[in-house]
Each structure stands twice: as structure tokens, then as C-alpha cells.
Amino acid sequence: MKMFFVLLSIVCSLVAIDAKDAAFVLGFNEDYKTALAQAKEENKLMMLVIIQDPCPYCERLIDNTLSNPQVTKVLEDDFVSVIVNQHSQLPSAFQSNAIPMTFFIDPKNEEGIWESMGYISAEQFLDDLNEAKFIHTKK
């Protein structure tokens, strides 16, 4: 598993990565509506990551944060994840000019409960994941 992340980092650093490639490598959905339906079915929060190509901060988010084993574990256990290009069809509440942008969404009402803008470290991202889960449980 460790070798997979090393190879992922090397490959991603050599070429720009688009949303479709990132979704494949990370095991994320690449379609908002599909992810929303899955989140409702599995009763999990949804995480929406919006990127563009080229974007060095998006690549760092993918390579260093979303690929982190601790982050991956929390995402697999508690979230349905989707990563899309900035120009994808999204509800207006989740359209953003800031890239990368991460929204944590309650799939029952499609409301954003927490958001994170730009590149952040895996440690900070874990805090965001926990904050989103905490806010969701308080509802």
C-alpha cells in the first residue's frame, strides 16, 4: 500500500492530473449525482472536491492530502467522495471560483455543512473531516 502512494506521488508530480484521473486513482466518484445517490443509500456524508487542470495546489491536495492513508481511511469509513472539474454541472451552492475547493454535504437535504478552500495538509484535512462529522451529528 505504501508503494502505491509513492508511485501515485511520482506519477502525479510528472504530469498534471485531471478530475477523471484523480477519481480513478483515489477510488472516488467522478459524477456528483451518482455520489449523492450513493451517499443517501449508504447514509454517509458526501465530500465534493472541485479541481481544475492545471493547478499546482489541486495536485498537492491530491498527492499529499487525499492520498494520505489516515485521510483515506476516514473517507472510506464515513464519506462518499466525489472529485470533479471546476466546469462540471453542480448545484449553484457548490459552484466555486476558488480552486481547489472541498465541500462536505449532508446528502439528505444537499446542504453544505463545512467547506475548505485551497490546499491544506493531511493533518488539517483530518480536522476538517472530524468537524464535518461533528456538525452532522449535532443536527
Domains in the chain, please, with CATH?
2-138 (3.40.30.10)
Q: Residue 23 is placed in which grid cell?
A: 477519481
pLDDT tops 90 at residue 119: yes
Confidence of residue 97 (pLDDT cuts 50, 70, 90): confident
In whole numbers, what is the pLDDT of the chain averaged over residues? 87
So what's the pLDDT on residue 14?
44
For cell 480552486, the residue is 99
So what's the pLDDT on residue 87?
85
pLDDT digits (tens, 9 = 90+) for 27-75: 898 999 999 999 999 999 999 999 998 899 999 999 999 999 999 999 9
So what's the pLDDT on residue 16?
58
Mean pLDDT, residues 92-114 taken together: 92
Give the chain as a 3 state SS string.
CHHHHHHHHHHHHHCCCCHHHHHHHHCCECCHHHHHHHHHHHCCEEEEEEECCCCHHHHHHHHHHHCCHHHHHHHHHHEEEEEEECCCCCCHHHCCCCCCEEEEEECCCCEEEEEEECCCCHHHHHHHHHHHHHHHHHC
pTM of the model: 0.84
